[in-house]
Amino acid sequence: MKKKLLLSSFLLMFVLSSTVASAHPGRTDAKGGHTCRTNCAKWGLEQGEYHYHNGGSSSSSSSKKSSSSSSKSSTKPSTKGSSAPKSTEPTYKKSKLTVFINGEKASFDSGLIIYQNTNLVPLREIADLLGATFSYDAKSGVIIVSKNSNTVTFTIGSKKVYYIGEAETMNVAPVVVKGVTYVPLQSLVKGLGASLKSDDSNKLSITIK
């Protein structure tokens, strides 16, 4: 009987000693745990972490780590598809065409260009040389050129041209190159009621009243 009592006492002391060895100083609350205030790192805990002395771990600590991990992964910037598309100007070449207006050679600061096998002229300069006025709506791309009772309407990027309301289709649309608006020369001359004569030597004569 005494041997059984001694054995029971020994087992009880062993259990108590192992429990004390796995815990650290500090009073526990009614739930069997408490908040770590001192020597937290020594016990593998964070400062202010709530834990249990029975081997359980704080749910707030694990959720905090999980939240931190998900926050780091979600805030990482994505670089895929961030580059903006680059705008490209139309492919063209300089024109060697010489233009005469009412017998006088016309001079163009911006020069004439050939775009899709068609001669285009700078809008502002040709309008001044022909004595015409024009308006340009940058938002819609609509260009209206007028002289006397004649009016021709272009739209940037469109092959449709209107002569006093009547629509026709051009071979090429007006374009903008290096900030300069270019329009098809023959369509403009026709719309303003001028006559046009050309020869094989890259010479074009315009007669307009």
Task: Assign 65 a pLDDT band (cuts: 50, 70, 90).
Answer: very low
What three-state secondary structure class fits 68? helix
44, pLDDT greater than 70:
no
Q: Residue 155: is its pLDDT beyond 80? A: yes
Measured distance CA(177)–CA(110) in Å, rounded: 10
**Sequence-distant (≥ 6) Cβ neighbours of residue 33 within 8 angstroms:** 50, 51, 52, 53, 56, 58
What structural domains does the chain harbor? 2-67 (no CATH), 93-207 (3.30.457.10)
Task: Answer with the residue of higher pLDDT: 167 or 81.
Answer: 167
Kindly tell me if the per-residue pLDDT of 173 is higher than 80: yes
Mean pLDDT, range 66-82, rounded to an integer: 47
pTM over 0.85: no
**Placement of tokens 């910037």 in the chain:** 77
Residue 151 has what pLDDT? Answer: 96
Residue 198 — pLDDT band, cuts 50, 70, 90? Answer: confident
Cα–Cα distance, 154 to 173 (Å, whole number):
8
pLDDT (0 to 100) of residue 102 = 95
Residue 91: the pLDDT is 87
